[in-house]
Amino acid sequence: MEQIESPQTLVHKPNPLEQTRNNELAPRANSIPAPTKVAGVSAMQPLPPRRSALDSILRFLGWTLASVVVLSLVMMAAGWWTVNNMSSQIFGSGTQTTIVEGAPIVESIRRANKQILIEHYNAVDVDYTEAPEGWLSFLGMRQNFVVLLKGRVPAGFDLSQIKDEDLWISPDGSKVQLVLPPPQIFADNVSIDFEYSRILVQSDTCPGFLCKDTISAYQNDILPQGRQLLIQASERSGIMQEVVESGTLYYENFLRALGFQEVRVIVRGTE
């Protein structure tokens, strides 16, 4: 056995050939470029995920809807401002309308001519009898009808009677007074409701050459008498007073709508 004289003898001594190879490889290792760094970004930081197509569509629709809402609000505000501005120019800034000319108002009222305000529906009995005169009356010949007539009776004002002096307006245009003509029933417009009228009694023993025929009796006697009875029934039921009340209220509202603050309506014959 060989004896080790010193511990240093155990250390590996490099071979001259290996030393030369290592020196040749060292410059190549140093020539490999180091990873580049982007300013503010770590070389190992992952890139952010890309947005999906659905997310992009939703974001686009959201911005579109918001734009439509904003545009609608702007258009509404512009429209309101335009209408308000035009109203102020047409009607003025104040809420009071001053009218100092009465002739146009009277003319507009007079143009209505016959104004029907109230209509009554009544029923009356018409008793019609006809018999020959003179010595023929002793023969006992006669014609008799009892008819139930129903009809409508209209009433109102004949506004063609209004004159210019019937309307008074104060100098400042805030007060007005209107005088209406007396109320009246329009007899020419009384209508018979033949559908619900009935003949209750009919007796005719008079020949046609002595008494009127049935049609002539209806047209010339029964219907005119029935219209008159319908008018009388309407007068008893208070149609004239209803016309006064309705006409007064109607023309008070009419004149107030023209801008008058104090309005007085008088019906002639009822003061």
**What SS3 class is residue 113?**
coil
- pLDDT tens sequence for the chain (271 residues): 444 444 444 444 555 555 555 555 455 544 445 544 444 444 445 555 555 666 677 677 677 777 777 877 887 777 766 656 655 554 444 444 455 577 888 888 888 888 999 999 999 999 988 776 666 666 767 778 899 999 999 999 999 999 999 999 999 989 999 999 999 999 999 999 999 999 888 877 777 667 777 777 788 888 999 999 999 999 999 999 999 999 999 999 999 998 999 999 999 987 6
Direct distance between the N- and C-terminal alpha carbons of the chain, in angstroms, rounded to an integer:
164
C-alpha–C-alpha distance, residues 167 and 59, integer Å: 70
Q: Is residue 38 part of a domain?
A: no
Provide the domain limits for residue 174.
103-267
Taking phi over 0 as left and psi of -120 to 50 as alpha, with beta for the rest, 259 belongs to left
For residue 140, tell me if it sits in a domain.
Answer: yes
Q: Is residue 67 part of a domain?
A: no
Establish if 14 belongs to a structural domain: no
The count of structural domains within the chain is 1
Instruction: Let me know if residue 75 belongs to a domain.
Output: no
- Residue 246, domain member (yes or no): yes
Please check whether residue 72 lies inside any domain of the structure.
no
**Whether pTM exceeds 0.75:** no
Residue 31 to residue 34: CA distance in whole angstroms: 9
Judged on CB neighbours under 10 Å (0-12, 13-18, 19+), 73 is exposed
Residue 170: inside a domain, yes or no? yes
Element (H, E) at 36: none
